Chain A
Amino acid sequence: MNPKKRAFLEVRVNKLRRDIVLMLSESSSGHPGGSLSAIDVIAYLFFEVMKFDSANPYWEERDRFILSKGHAAPALYAVLAAVNFFPKKLLKTLRKLGSPLQGHPDSRKLPGLDSSTGSLGQGLSIAGGIALAGKMDKKDYSVFVLAGDGEIQEGQIWEAAMAIPHFELDNVCLFVDNNELQIDGLVSDVMSVYPIAEKFASFNWNTMEINGHKFDEIEKAVEFFVSNRGSKKPTVIISHTIKGKCVSFMENKCEWHGAAPTKDEAIKAIEELGCVESLENWLEEK
């Protein structure tokens, strides 16, 4: 990847991390850990890969994105605002009564959401249906899905993992956000899902493992998926990440799965992110 592009992305995504922290502190509830682990992949897809038109959110040819781990909604909302699906000032209404920014994505309330999610394990099947419709209608859109590593304990994930290659849906690209934690502890302690790549490979998926915080590697993963279109096999990217990434006191801590930072904690976090100058006007900033 061109170093300039990488540096540009890093600055941009750093601001999204700031948005996530401030939005959660504003709402006093929500999920920072899994939002911060997934933000690099989600942002890269919307900034660099997916075709969409935020002025025409239901454009039929658009690429789709399903946030199967719906609790990472703040990450998706920050990205959708950054690509102009809705005004950024809405971010401060997260989880408040009447807000289109529901605690978990609600496709009836917010443009840019290709499906409602929130109950874990359902997004990959929904993506399968969208991908199947794409094949039926001879459309060449791709369907990107992001699932948690704890989430893939759900049996439905493996029903979808079986059905998607069965229907030769090579237009599906699943990212597993492999941050190694769920709520009650390490995924390997609670209910091991390992080895992930081998499981999917035996279900007939193309597989690749990357560091999900490195844009060079995310780019390679997307190239791998694109090169596999036509292989009649879907692609899964095991994206190794850190829960709470870039906020030192949140990193690798289960406690930050579903706890919002206080004002003071949020200030500490954005100091670490190096965006403290923008605390007052973060919602006005382009």
Chain B
Amino acid sequence: MSKLEMQATRDFYGKTLAELGRENKNIVVLDADLSGSTKTSVFAKEFPDRFFNLGIAEANMMGFAAGLALSGKVVFASSFAMFAVLRPFEQIRNSIAAQNLNVKIAATHAGISVGEDGLSHQTVEDIAILRAIPNMHIYVPADSVSAGRIVREAVAVKGPVYIRLSRPKSPVIYDDSYHFEDGKANIIKEANKADVALIAIGMMVPEAIEASKLLEAQGLSTLVADFASVKPIDHDALIRIAKSSRLVVTVEEHSIIGGLGGAVSEVLSEEYPTRVFRIGMMDAFGESGTPAGLFKHFGLTAEDIYRKVLKAVK
């Protein structure tokens, strides 16, 4: 993977936000004392009159976001995913989603790739809980290119959107031709008849691409799909994949409970009963370590995916 350029999705959030700020005077950005890390500082610098720091008070920030949206603003509210989702969860549900408000929760530092800060800062439950809220759209960009497109799409979509971003730099897998659409999967590698279909999101997409190469080297045909739109999820693509694959595998930097694995299992068990093999955080908390060390420790590297799938597909 060494040849691909490395970029952080959060950097492209900041950059795209500033572009959107120029195009749309209605966009207001909120942060909770982490603007340097979430990159809303890029917007704040250019549009100080449309940026508000609420301090370390995330529940209040979501309430302000609701009020601003009720008054016609398009609001981006940012913090680390732990503090942007889990802390003010009920405010998101009752003040924002229940009124279908135009609040875009763009959270960085999701998952275990937060690294050294440890479990108090590593949320692997955010997708699961947000998925249960009506009206909520959930997007997980796989690289910096898709992060930029997704931030744009979030403005085009009416209602609450959650954008899950990461702290570290990760491989850039897409080029300018990349297209994102709400509720649509992106098939990265097609296969007419696949032994293994790898369905991944976020930083696990480049890992899945590498894993597929390892599996192909063992003579297994693979399909790789990026399901960046976790909610709404692409039912048609899922059923088509299930029909043409021997084993469906989900890969996410999130709990195997309720996230991508949960969403895929729900759709397939009802609409096309299929075995789904889930790779992710196995009902465990994270801990301190380097992002790479943690991916290894929790079995989320391409090598781990390859080994687990090889065992499961037998």
B35 and A184 form a contact (CB under 8 A): yes
Looking at the assembled complex, report how far the CB atom of A66 sits from the nearest CB atom of chain B, in whole angstroms. 14
Looking at the assembled complex, report how far the CB atom of A191 sits from the nearest CB atom of chain B, in whole angstroms. 3
Interface size class of chain A, counting residues whose CB lies under 8 Å from the partner chain: 20 to 34
User: What sequence of 0s and 1s flags, for each residue 75-106 of chain A, a beta carbon within 8 Å of any chain B beta carbon?
Assistant: 00000000000000000000111110011101
Closest residue of A by beta carbon distance from B293 = A97
Complexed CA–CA distance, A120 and B33 (Å): 12
B53 and A103 form a contact (CB under 8 A): no
* Contact partners of A177 in chain B: CB under 8 A: none
Q: Is B59 an interface position by the 8 A CB rule?
A: yes
Q: Is A248 an interface position by the 8 A CB rule?
A: no
Query: Interface centre among B82, B115, B118, by most A CB within 10 Å?
Result: B118
Interface residues of A in 94-132 (CB under 8 A from B): 95-99, 102-104, 106, 116-121
* Contact partners of B288 in chain A: CB under 8 A: 95-97, 99, 102-103
Interface of A is mostly: loop
Query: Interface centre among B35, B56, B59, B294, by most A CB within 10 Å?
Result: B56
Q: Is A244 an interface position by the 8 A CB rule?
A: no
B60 and A106 form a contact (CB under 8 A): no
Q: Which of B35, B54, B55, B118 contacts A103 (CB 8 A)?
A: B118
Interface size class of chain B, counting residues whose CB lies under 8 Å from the partner chain: 20 to 34
A154 and B33 form a contact (CB under 8 A): no
Closest residue of A by beta carbon distance from B121 = A118
> Using a Cβ cutoff of 8 Å, how many contacts connect chains A and B?
90
Q: Is A151 an interface position by the 8 A CB rule?
A: yes
Complexed CA–CA distance, A183 and B121 (Å): 16
A154 and B118 form a contact (CB under 8 A): no
Q: Is B87 an interface position by the 8 A CB rule?
A: yes
B287 and A102 form a contact (CB under 8 A): yes
B121 and A191 form a contact (CB under 8 A): no
* Contact partners of B297 in chain A: CB under 8 A: 97
Q: Which of B54, B57, B116, B293 contacts A30 (CB 8 A)?
A: B116
A153 and B116 form a contact (CB under 8 A): no
Q: Is A211 an interface position by the 8 A CB rule?
A: no
Complexed CA–CA distance, A99 and B289 (Å): 9
Looking at the assembled complex, report how far the CB atom of A138 sits from the nearest CB atom of chain B, in whole angstroms. 33
B53 and A119 form a contact (CB under 8 A): no
Q: Is B99 an interface position by the 8 A CB rule?
A: no
User: What sequence of 0s and 1s flags, for each residue 25-48 of chain B, a beta carbon within 8 Å of any chain A beta carbon?
Assistant: 000000101111100010000000
Interface residues of A in 143-161 (CB under 8 A from B): 150-151, 153-155
Looking at the assembled complex, report how far the CB atom of A158 sits from the nearest CB atom of chain B, in whole angstroms. 10
Closest residue of B by beta carbon distance from A117 = B120
Contacts A29-B116, A99-B288 known; A155 to B59 CB distance under 8 Å?
yes
Q: Is B274 an interface position by the 8 A CB rule?
A: no
Q: Which of A70, A106, A153 contacts B57 (CB 8 A)?
A: A153
Looking at the assembled complex, report how far the CB atom of A55 sits from the nearest CB atom of chain B, in whole angstroms. 27
User: What sequence of 0s and 1s flags, for each residue 102-138 of chain B, a beta carbon within 8 Å of any chain A beta carbon?
Assistant: 0000000000000111111100000000000000000
Name 11 A/B residue pairs within 8 A (Cβ), A-sorted.
A95-B288, A96-B288, A96-B289, A97-B287, A97-B294, A102-B287, A119-B83, A151-B56, A154-B57, A190-B33, A191-B56
The 3 nearest A-B residue pairs measured at CB: A191-B55, A118-B120, A97-B289
